[in-house]
């Protein structure tokens, strides 16, 4: 009865009870997507799944950010046009709207800017913005849908990337067992998982992995205490800022759905959560977790898997006779 | 009133009015899938979308039989492991349960036998049946689901291909405008489309393209009246039978959803329906369609696009620590 009164009082003064309950914790629950333009989402979903946005006609956004597999490709580094080996591990698209910036080095300010990158990257989709737009203009059903959604005479790349970004904004994963616990379901976690969470906090992991996405909000040096050894040439944030001090600074990845987004790190070198956690402990915190401690933290991390977006596979509008045919094997 | 009485009378003697109405036509309406094991379908859908059934971890059944694109890849010939150029055009998986046999040369008797092919074809998924089974055995959620569906202690490749085939049986496309017309909705087609259908029948197209799938029921020589010129080395049915008389005999493709399954023929050399129809007329029937006749037949063919299967994208069970990691770039 007392608790009910308190809740009523808090609600009265405009304080969210759930937020209050979770406020003591460094991690906050994922909120369902809001302020969503559904017309843009439906169009963006089609574009996200459309391999005609690549030179080969074979690679779509979903190829490397596969929504059946945690929004990633589960490969160390991605496969691009003509099977080129990508330079870096494909980050999950899930909850990516919560990132401070996009790509491992944060070179895109937001999802819209990010969406334009892979299309014209010769290592990825190998196409161009101009070719994308002129191709879409030959597909009558796309022309109508862009007109309906954006109310303009002509398709342009800004509309394409805005629609993809709007779709990606819907790809949040609320309702993980950990969030249920944060929101008051105290039996949502086992003792081992809770112990793992306590250890995660006490060891200092939450210095970087905090907030709604349990990461994604800052750039940090990979190999803070001990250097990280890799053959991957990526330099991280310094490639964007030009500052030597930013060398090997990478965006802290989200740990949401981390059970699904193996392998780990920007080079995809860690195959398992236990391996990744062990390396993070040693290199970032100067801590050697015992196997028992490691298992507890891994158990906690697996509680961060939320409801995966329910995606009704889009049916893509067919090309017309005048649509350029893709070129998968020619130069 | 008279018509109603006739319908009632026919119904009384056990004759289906719809079937009677359609019986005069060489094409019959697609029937929704029946006798379906839903547990196998759900499991088979996961396997159909799972790129872990390929050596690279990148290619799934859906890569070349893309259910967003008419169950095909819309490429002349498919892209396989390490971007190898496939030998032949990827036939649509839609309505493939209606085919007399599978593959262009009919070398697989049914969908179950077909499903095993691409997995171990070094030009396609490049994996093996043994590796597929041992990989699936390391994924706890798959182990449980196979056990639930098949009631056996161990996964085997027969279960894998049976589940994929069961899913594929559901991929039929009823309710096209043409089928609505066949079933009595007389205003479902325009005059041009009906004229096209009449021309299609009178020209002899229905000698091969008949039945529920408007094809798929026989093997016929490509280039009957005039030889078909192609650089594609596929020999067709003779590769299976060893008989020289079967050289260049291919399975007649279904024309259902043909608007979506460009480019056409076993070599994917015809980019548009108009081009394919022109070539068919000349080479198979010794007939040169005028542009107007061609346009009418194309208009008819586009009425064969049915309801595309509604696919809720499956969420794949994650690999465990002991699951072998894919090898996309190594030997």
pLDDT digits (tens, 9 = 90+) for A223-245: 999 999 999 999 999 999 999 99
Question: Under a CB-based contact definition with an 8 Å cutoff, are residues A232 and A53 in contact?
Answer: no
Q: Distance between CA B177 and CA B256 in Å, rounded? A: 11
Instruction: Note whether residue A316 is domain-resident.
Output: no
CB contact under 8 A, B319 and A74: yes
End-to-end CA distance of chain A: 74
Looking up residue A244, the CATH number of its domain turns out to be: 1.10.760.10
CB contact under 8 A, B57 and A50: no
Same domain? B107 vs B56: yes
Mean pLDDT of A180-202: 98
Residue A5 has pLDDT above 90, yes or no: no
Mean pLDDT of A210-230: 97
Residue A327 confidence (pLDDT): 87
Q: Distance between CA A45 and CA A43 in Å, rounded? A: 5
Residue B11 has pLDDT above 90, yes or no: no
Instruction: Note whether residue A131 is domain-resident.
Output: yes
Last residue of a domain, one of A169, A196, A225: A169
Split at pLDDT 50, 70, 90, the class of B23 is low
Split at pLDDT 50, 70, 90, the class of A267 is very high
Same domain? B104 vs B51: yes
Which residue range(s) make up the domain with B101?
A: 38-169
Same domain? A52 vs A165: yes
- Mark residue A204 as left, alpha or beta (left: phi above 0; alpha: psi -120 to 50; beta: remaining): left
Residue A8 confidence (pLDDT): 43
Residue A52 has pLDDT above 80, yes or no: yes
Residue A330 confidence (pLDDT): 83
Mean pLDDT is lowest, of A236-240, B4-8, B224-228, for B4-8
For chain B, the domain total comes to: 2
Instruction: Note whether residue A323 is domain-resident.
Output: no
Same domain? A54 vs A136: yes
Q: Write the pLDDT tens digit of every residue in B79-134.
A: 999 999 999 999 999 999 999 999 999 999 999 999 999 999 999 999 999 999 99
Last residue of a domain, one of B169, B194, B224: B169
Count of Cβ atoms closer than 10 Å to residue A313 Cβ: 21
Residue A100 confidence (pLDDT): 95
Q: How far is CA B28 from CA B55, B197, B274, in A?
A: 41, 13, 24
Q: How far is CA A169 from CA A54, A103, A112, B150, in A?
A: 22, 16, 10, 39
Instruction: Note whether residue B313 is domain-resident.
Output: no
Same domain? A163 vs A186: no
Residue A4 has pLDDT above 70, yes or no: no
Residue B142 confidence (pLDDT): 98
Chain A, chain B: beta-carbon pairs less than 8 Å apart: 97
Task: Give the best residue of B57, B68, B323 to mutate against chain A (max A CB count within 10 A).
Answer: B68
DSSP reduced 3-state for A249: strand
Task: Give the best residue of A68, A267, A274 to mutate against chain B (max B CB count within 10 A).
Answer: A68
Task: Give the best residue of B57, B81, B83 to mutate against chain A (max A CB count within 10 A).
Answer: B83
Question: Under a CB-based contact definition with an 8 Å cutoff, are residues A92 and A98 in contact?
Answer: no
Q: Provide the 8-state DSSP code for A75.
A: S
Mean pLDDT of B188-193: 98
Q: Write the pLDDT tens digit of every residue in A115-139.
A: 999 999 999 999 999 999 999 999 9
B62 CA: distance to closest CA in chain A (Å): 11
Instruction: Note whether residue A55 is domain-resident.
Output: yes
Same domain? A109 vs A182: no
Same domain? A209 vs A259: yes
Same domain? B297 vs B224: yes
How far does CA A62 lie from the centroid of its chain?
12
Last residue of a domain, one of A169, A199, A234: A169
Q: Distance between CA B264 and CA B290 in Å, rounded? A: 20
Q: Distance between CA A327 and CA B128 in Å, rounded? A: 29
List, in order, residues 6 or more apart from B218 with CB less than 8 Å away: B100, B208, B251, B252
DSSP A100-129: SSBSTT--BSSHHHHHHHHHH-TTTT---H
Which residues of B form the catalytic set? 124
Residue B327 confidence (pLDDT): 87
Mean pLDDT of A265-289: 98
Residue B3 confidence (pLDDT): 44
Split at pLDDT 50, 70, 90, the class of A253 is very high
Mean pLDDT of chain B: 93
Mean pLDDT of chain A: 93
CB contact under 8 A, B56 and A79: yes
Residue A12 has pLDDT above 60, yes or no: no
Mean pLDDT of A282-306: 98
Longest CA span, chain B: 74
Q: Distance between CA A98 and CA A91 in Å, rounded? A: 13
Question: Under a CB-based contact definition with an 8 Å cutoff, are residues A60 and A50 in contact?
Answer: yes
**Residue of B301, B281, B153, B152 whose CA lies nearest to B223:** B281
Residues of A with CB under 8 A from a CB of B: 49-52, 56-58, 63, 66-70, 73-76, 79, 82-83, 85, 259-260, 262-263, 271-274, 308, 310-316, 318-319, 321, 325-326, 328-329
Tell me the chain A residues in contact with residue B329 when contact means C-beta distances shorter than 8 Å.
85
Mean pLDDT of A210-223: 97
Share of chain A above pLDDT 90, in %: 92
The helix or strand, by DSSP H or E, that contains position B250, with its residue range, turns out to be strand B249-251
Split at pLDDT 50, 70, 90, the class of A246 is very high
List, in order, residues 6 or more apart from A139 with CB less than 8 Å away: A317, A318, A319, A320, A323
Same domain? B52 vs B132: yes
Q: How far is CA A257 from CA A94, A95, A308, B49, B143, in A?
A: 8, 9, 9, 20, 21
Residue A331 confidence (pLDDT): 67
Of A82, A85, A310, nearest to B329 by CB-CB distance is: A85
Same domain? A165 vs A83: yes
Helix (H) and strand (E) counts in chain B = 13, 2
Same domain? A164 vs A201: no
**Residue of A196, A202, A188, A191 whose CA lies nearest to A296:** A196
Of A70, A315, A328, nearest to B308 by CB-CB distance is: A315
Mean pLDDT of B151-171: 98
Residue A187 confidence (pLDDT): 98
Mean pLDDT of A275-285: 98
Residue B10 has pLDDT above 50, yes or no: no
Tell me, yes or no, if the pTM score tops 0.90. Answer: yes
Tell me the chain B residues in contact with residue A70 when contact means C-beta distances shorter than 8 Å.
318
Of A259, A260, A314, nearest to B68 by CB-CB distance is: A314
Same domain? A193 vs A240: yes
Instruction: Note whether residue A2 is domain-resident.
Output: no
Instruction: Note whether residue B101 is domain-resident.
Output: yes
Instruction: Note whether residue B14 is domain-resident.
Output: no
Q: Write the pLDDT tens digit of every residue in B256-307.
A: 999 999 999 999 999 999 999 999 999 999 999 999 999 999 999 999 999 9
């Amino acid at each position: 009865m007392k608790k009910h009164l308190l809740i009523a009082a808090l609600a009265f003064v405009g304080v969210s009870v759930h937020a209050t309950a979770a406020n003591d914790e460094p991690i906050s629950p994922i909120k369902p997507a809001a302020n969503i333009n559904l017309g843009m989402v439906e169009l963006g979903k089609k574009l996200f799944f459309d391999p005609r946005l690549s030179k080969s006609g074979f690679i779509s956004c979903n190829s490397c950010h596969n929504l059946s597999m945690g929004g990633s490709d589960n490969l160390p580094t991605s496969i691009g046009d003509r099977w080129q080996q990508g330079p870096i591990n494909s980050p999950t698209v899930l909850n990516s709207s919560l990132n401070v910036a996009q790509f491992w080095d944060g070179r895109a300010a937001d999802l819209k800017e990010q969406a334009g990158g892979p299309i014209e990257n010769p290592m990825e989709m190998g196409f161009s913005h101009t070719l994308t737009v002129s191709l879409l203009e030959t597909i009558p059903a796309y022309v109508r849908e862009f007109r309906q959604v954006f109310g303009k005479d002509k398709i342009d790349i800004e509309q394409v990337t805005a629609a993809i970004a709007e779709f990606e904004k819907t790809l949040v994963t609320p309702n993980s067992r950990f969030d249920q616990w944060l929101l008051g379901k105290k039996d949502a976690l086992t003792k081992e998982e809770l112990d793992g969470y306590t250890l995660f906090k006490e060891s200092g992991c939450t210095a970087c992995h905090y907030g709604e996405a349990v990461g994604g909000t800052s750039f940090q040096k990979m190999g803070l205490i001990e250097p990280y050894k890799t053959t991957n040439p990526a330099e991280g944030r310094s490639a964007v800022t030009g500052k030597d001090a930013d060398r090997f600074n990478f965006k802290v990845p989200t740990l949401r759905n981390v059970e699904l987004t193996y392998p780990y790190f920007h080079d995809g070198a860690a195959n398992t959560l236990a391996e990744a956690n062990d390396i993070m402990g040693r290199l970032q915190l100067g801590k050697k977790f015992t196997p028992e401690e490691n298992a507890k933290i891994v158990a906690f991390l697996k509680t961060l898997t939320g409801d995966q977006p329910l995606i009704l596979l889009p049916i893509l509008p067919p090309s017309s006779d005048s649509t350029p045919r893709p070129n998968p094997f020619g130069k």
